[in-house]
Amino acid sequence: MSKPLKIIHCFRSPVGGIFRHVRDLLSQQAEAGHQVGLICDSTTGGAYEDKLFEEIRPLLLLGLHRIPMARSIAPRDLSALLKTKSLIKSLAPDVVHSHSAKGGVYGRMGAWLANKNIKTFYCPHGGAMHYDAGSLKGKVFFTAERFLERMTTSLIFVSDYERNAYHEKVGIPRCPEAIVYNGISPEEFVPVPLKDDATDFLYIGMKRDLKGPDIFLDALKIARDKSGQNLTAWFVGDGPDEAKYDEQIKRLDLSNCVHVSNAMPARDAFTLGDIVVVPSRAESLPYLVLEALAAQKPMVAVNVGGIPEIFQDHKNRLVPIEDPQAMAIAMLELHGNQKRHLQAIEMATELQKKFSLAAMSQSVEKLYL
């Protein structure tokens, strides 16, 4: 390793896959001898995220800095940008690595305003790439992305899908670019045993429309009606649309077969249900899919984003997005497949060759230097 670097990670929402990605990276970077700090939103997250912050706090030699960051474009964006710029100036990092749309704005502009010699890296993680290029929001975000390229040392994409979406919606970058796949640790490739009272299916993720919880609940209802079986499920996560899904469970008469829980560590949730269902409307390269497959969980997932890149030779098993009927059929087929756990072992073995935490960290460090 060359001389230790001072690295600041900047992103908005400390939940889900982005937070997991940042925690993994900064843990590896701290272990390699770099000084690391974190800037993120102070209004997002709950008790579970607070616990995660406490776990990584000893690694943050450059500190944990939480400031209010609006999810949508808002007048307080200017205040958040100026606070980010002030923090970056006082911390004097060598590198600012920003993540997702809002983090990408604050991190790159804040670094540029603080000191134009700071190296800046940006990973969209889907973010603005989920918007339609013809929509007003899409036009605003993609114009901003093009403008911010002049403040970017390199773009880092987590999948071919994400890079292709950027090329299509923003344009061929005017700055360097690279693809670095998300990676997971060796201990995550250990199977997770089911509890004796485990359900047939498991949804784990954010409770917001983008992740498709409503599609999962509709598909479960269809599967129960089609099969006549008393199929059961755990419904795990937090999010802004939680109340709406609670109402949907009641409306579909699923209250007796769906167990609801707040967010918990993925491997704890994996003990609760046999088949993991991923019904998302949009994804980049979701950690949940990597974690579940590594843990040898049978899975029904949609054909969206970078998920086909994870499934590799098994991508023909993926179902269309926003199609509860197709998802219900896939759920029933996998539930009735006596070889599903043997197939899950095979997929985990293939996954380990391509999605390594060590490889991810080393590839990012090479880009910094």
Which structural domain range is residue 105 located in?
6-181+356-368
- Long-range contacts (CB closer than 8 Å, 24 or more residues apart) made by 171-180: 171/146, 173/149, 174/146, 174/149, 174/150, 175/149, 175/150, 178/154, 178/363, 178/367, 180/156, 180/360, 180/363, 180/364, 180/367
CB 286 within 8 A of CB 270: no
**Same-domain check for residues 195 and 247:** yes
Query: At 229, which CATH number?
Result: 3.40.50.2000
**In DSSP terms, which residues pair with 154 in a beta bridge?**
121
Residue 43 covered by a domain? yes
Q: Distances from the Cα of 190 to the Cαs of 47, 297, 349, in angstroms?
A: 27, 11, 11
Q: In terms of domains, do 293 and 330 share one?
A: yes
Within this chain, do residues 172 and 148 fall inside the same structural domain, yes or no? yes
Rounding to the nearest 10 degrees, give the CA dihedral for residues 124, 125, 131, 136.
-30
Residues 313 and 164 in one domain: no
Distance from first CA to last CA of the chain, Å, rounded? 10
Structural domain contains residue 1:
no
Pair (11, 42) in one structural domain: yes
Asked if residue 301 belongs to a domain, the reply is yes
Burial of 94: CB neighbours in 10 Å, binned 0-12, 13-18, 19+: middle
Claim to verify: residue 46 and residue 90 sit in the same structural domain: yes
User: Does one domain contain both 222 and 298?
Assistant: yes
The answer to whether residue 243 sits within a structural domain is: yes
Residue 157 lies in a domain: yes
DSSP letter assigned to residue 170: T
Looking at the structure, tell me whether residues 77 and 53 fall in a common domain.
Answer: yes
For tokens 């997929």, what's the residue?
347
On whether both 282 and 206 belong to a single domain, the answer is yes
How many Å apart are CA 48 and CA 290, to the nearest integer? Answer: 21
Q: CA angle, corner 84, sides to 79 and 86, nearest 5?
A: 95
| Domains held by the chain: number | 2
Residue 283 lies in a domain: yes
Question: Domain check: are 139 and 196 in the same one?
Answer: no
Tens of pLDDT along the chain (369 residues) come to 468 999 999 999 998 889 999 999 999 999 999 999 999 999 988 888 999 999 999 999 999 999 999 887 777 889 999 999 999 999 999 999 999 989 999 999 999 999 999 999 999 987 677 677 778 777 888 998 999 999 999 999 999 999 999 999 999 999 999 999 999 999 999 999 999 999 999 999 999 999 999 999 999 999 999 999 999 999 999 988 999 999 999 999 999 999 999 999 999 999 999 999 999 999 888 999 999 999 999 999 999 999 999 999 999 999 999 999 999 999 999 999 999 999 999 999 999 888 989 999 999 999 999
Dihedral sign of CA atoms 82, 86, 91, 94 in order:
positive
The number of residues making up the chain comes to: 369
Residue 122 tokens read as 């940006």
Pairing of strands 95-99, 119-123: parallel
14 and 118 both lie in a single domain: yes
**Which pair of tokens denotes residue 200?**
């047939």
**Within-domain flag for 259:** yes
Same domain, 108 and 78: yes
Tokens found for residue 327: 């998802």
Q: Report if residue 296 sits inside a domain.
A: yes
